[in-house]
Amino acid sequence: MHQLDDCIFCQIVKGNAPAYKIHEDTLTYTFLDIFPATAGHLLIITKEHFSDIFEASPEALAQVASNSVRISKALEQVIKPDGLGVYQFNKACAGQTVFHYHMHLIPQFEGKDIGIHSKQAGDPDELASLAKTLTAALQ
């Protein structure tokens, strides 16, 4: 599996960087965003390093899509949002900031205007607790 030493997402997959893991399978890894736009903001990434959708394998993309449905249902059950934003950016001019293929799932709430990336880190205890609850909801 191709991974880069200087990629934070590759480091998370290898276990060399911390993450609030929600789910892992052979092709993908899902974890809470540490700069959450809202509670439950998470990322589904490919385990193999692909810079963007243009490089990613169809198999890995299919697994990300499949997991997004299952994980969205867990978010709906646990977070109870009014809606869900699904975002995926490719290349800097489109808003991509980490150059490893990933999809954002961001719970949305009526009357709350949010951005995609928060400037404030999430509370570690809240993130850890939410990660456990969402992981349990996937069982």
Report yes or no: 50 and 56 within 8 Å, Cβ to Cβ: yes
2 belongs to the catalytic site: no
Query: What are the tokens at 121?
Result: 């880190």
What is the distance between the alpha carbons of residues 19 and 68, in angstroms, rounded to a whole number? 18
Alpha helix stretches (DSSP H) within the chain? 8-14, 58-79, 124-137
Given 49, 100, 102, 104, which residue is catalytic?
Answer: 102
**What Å distances lie between residue 49 and 37, 57, 119, CA to CA?**
25, 10, 26
Phi, psi values for residue 105, rounded to 5°:
-115, 120
| Catalytically annotated residues | 102
